[in-house]
Amino acid sequence: MLVDSHTHLLRLRVEPEEAVREAAHAGVLAVVNIGTDVEDSRQGAKLAATVPNVYSSVGIHPHNAGAYTAADLETLAELAESPGVVALGEVGLDYYRNEWSGEIQRALFEDVVSLANDTRLPLIIHSRQAFGNTMACLGNARVPVVLHCFEGGEREVREARERSYYIGLAGNVTYKNSETAKVLRLMDPERMLVETDAPYLSPQPVRGRPNAPKNVVYTARFVAERLGIEDEELATLTTRNARNVFGLPLEV
């Protein structure tokens, strides 16, 4: 059984409950829904409190960095205490779209790192074309860190491994020119996660169609093949890792 460690249930074309049922039918034991702004986080916390096998994070995506306020951070702190909320994020830096200045993005990032230290919740990190600055901002983090949708090569993998960060592998690792696919064997197996980032980044077998939590099976199968292990072994490994980092009540 697998865990989709990063998905956006509120952005799918189907109702969250249906997506979770379809995922379960495909062998996905649980999903972690991700917050991207305060309202999204609030609705995600409601899902986690009411829908079986759904957990959630609360956070503010760097694309929304320019709109956040001190009151928003207070709301995140309150939501962090809700049943089923297991992490803070996604938060981080995005220099690809660069919708807000690096200074504004870093201010939000540093505030959420501080909040994570206070709440003791792990951090889910969005980092795009900003690895060096992301790692610098995480220097003050005293909680587990998940590098979501990891897009690094050998240098980035080694630095993440040195810090014992978790690496989230999404559908883009299955793409033809993925640098990350070439260095999977360098990763700490005890820090690997699989995710969809649905409805985005559909893995190769279903690329071109909206992604869904059930499709994490394709990414997991690809990673297992590259590592030379059985699908079931990879599923057990990554599910145990998800349980450990997010404190999920799963038996693995």
Q: What is the pLDDT of residues 126-170, one digit of tens each?
A: 999 999 999 999 999 999 999 999 999 999 999 999 999 999 999
Are 59 and 76 within 8 A, CB to CB? Answer: yes
Residue 9 counted as domain residue:
yes
Instruction: Show the DSSP H helices in 55-191 as ranges.
Output: 70-79, 102-119, 131-137, 154-162
Q: Domain of 128? A: 2-246
Q: What is the dihedral of CA 144, 61, 111, 32, to 10 degrees?
A: -30
Residue 251 counted as domain residue:
no
Q: How far is CA 213 from CA 29, 73, 95, 101, in A?
A: 10, 28, 27, 32
Are 32 and 57 within 8 A, CB to CB? Answer: yes
pLDDT band at 245 (very low <50, low <70, confident <90, very high): very high
Q: What percent of the chain has pLDDT over 70?
A: 100
Question: Which phi and psi angles does 135 have, rounded to 5°?
Answer: -65, -35
pLDDT tens for each residue of 50-109? 999 999 999 999 999 999 999 999 999 999 999 999 999 999 999 998 889 999 999 999
Q: Can you tell me whether residue 68 is helix, strand or coil?
A: coil
pLDDT band at 3 (very low <50, low <70, confident <90, very high): very high
Report how many domains make up the chain. 1
Q: What is the DSSP string of 181-213?
A: GGGGGGS-GGGEEE---TTS---GGGTTS---G
Using only C-alpha atoms, the chain has a radius of gyration, in whole angstroms, of 16
Structure tokens at 194: 């699989």
| Range 50-54 contact pairs with CB under 8 angstroms and sequence separation of 24 or more | 51/16, 51/17, 51/20, 52/20, 53/20, 53/24, 53/29, 54/9, 54/16, 54/20, 54/30, 54/84
By CB atoms closer than 10 A (0-12, 13-18, 19+), residue 69 is exposed
Residue 71 counted as domain residue:
yes
In this structure, what CATH number is given to the domain that contains residue 121? 3.20.20.140
Residue 252 counted as domain residue:
no
Q: What percent of the chain has pLDDT over 90?
A: 98
pTM for the structure as a whole: 0.97
Q: Would you state the pLDDT for residue 106?
A: 98
Q: How far is Cα 215 from Cα 200, in angstroms, rounded to an integer? A: 11
Q: Would you state the pLDDT for residue 36?
A: 98
Structure tokens at 241: 């890792």
Q: Would you state the pLDDT for residue 248?
A: 97
7 secondary structure, DSSP code: E
Q: Would you state the pLDDT for residue 252?
A: 79
140 secondary structure, DSSP code: G
Residue 212 counted as domain residue:
yes
Residue 84 counted as domain residue:
yes
